[in-house]
Amino acid sequence: MRRSVMTAVMMAVSVVAAAQAAELMADEIVAKANDASYYAGDDGRATVSMSLSDGRSRDFVILRKDVPGGLDQKFYVYFKAPADVRKMSYLVHKRPGKDDDRWLFLPALNLVKRIAPGDKRTSFVGSDFLYEDVSGRGLNEDTHELVETTETQYVVNNVPKDPGSVEFASYTVWIDKDTFLPRKAEYLDKNGKLYRRVSSEKIQTLQGYPTPTEQKVEDVARGTSTTITFSEIKYDIGLNDRIFTERFLRRPPREVTQ
């Protein structure tokens, strides 16, 4: 009797430990995926072209620099098209766990506008991409569970810790084992219905960093989609920290104008 209780307790402990290990593993996988997706190199540059299913397009150049010793990053975006946003520049100081600091420069008024922290699940420049798709989602905002390991991929299910703060009930990410890049993410609404899908259509290895060069977001519920392509990608170019200040917000640096 006593022995069987002990066995049961030990089994329970090991089950819990295994679950914790799986969870830890899921956390590790998600952290590595985040690293592969948003932190390749110490800095980088890309020319970005967004194509919306309604015929509209968005063209911009993006610069990124990581703040050493942490997850903080700085982004600089310079818009080239369409005409109504042309020459606007946008600066983000991303501090995971806190609100981002954001500034927008309106060239016609020569005005640097501070942008109030916003819902990160808001459309990025009117496309199907959300602000969070572009800058990354905080790792601690969801609980992660490894639901399946295939020959080539980890399948991780993510549930928001604060369901009221987001429009999804959960999302599942398929992550390539070799590169840790997410291949596909599917979002379920509160009724458990698929309404949104983000996928990496093309991945290329550039300067040793596996890089998504074409991604697609489908808003299944609304029937719209946006394709984003990245070109002229360069990593570790030694971007000067001062680019990410008001000076260069007002006068775009040559890294984005050329």
Question: Which spans of this chain sit near other proteins (rule: CB under 8 A)?
Answer: 54-57, 81-84, 86-87, 93, 99, 101, 108-112, 114-119, 121-123, 125-127, 224, 242, 245-247, 251, 254, 257-258
191 vs 219: CA distance, rounded Å = 16
Q: Look at residue 103 and give its three-state secondary structure.
A: strand
β-pair type (57-66, 73-81): antiparallel
Provide the 10 A C-beta neighbour count for residue 89.
Answer: 23
| Residue among 82 and 208 whose Cβ is closer to other proteins | 82
- Least distance from other proteins to the Cβ atom of residue 130, Å: 10
Q: Look at residue 117 and give its three-state secondary structure.
A: coil
246 vs 181: CA distance, rounded Å = 33
- Least distance from other proteins to the Cβ atom of residue 214, Å: 21
- Least distance from other proteins to the Cβ atom of residue 110, Å: 4
| Residue among 151 and 164 whose Cβ is closer to other proteins | 164
| Residue among 195 and 235 whose Cβ is closer to other proteins | 195
78, 89 contact by CB (below 8 A):
yes
- Residue length, the chain? 258
| Residue among 56 and 197 whose Cβ is closer to other proteins | 56
- Least distance from other proteins to the Cβ atom of residue 107, Å: 9
Strand partners, 203: 212
- Least distance from other proteins to the Cβ atom of residue 117, Å: 6
Provide the 10 A C-beta neighbour count for residue 76.
Answer: 24
> Which H/E stretch holds residue 194?
strand 194-206
| Residue among 1 and 69 whose Cβ is closer to other proteins | 69
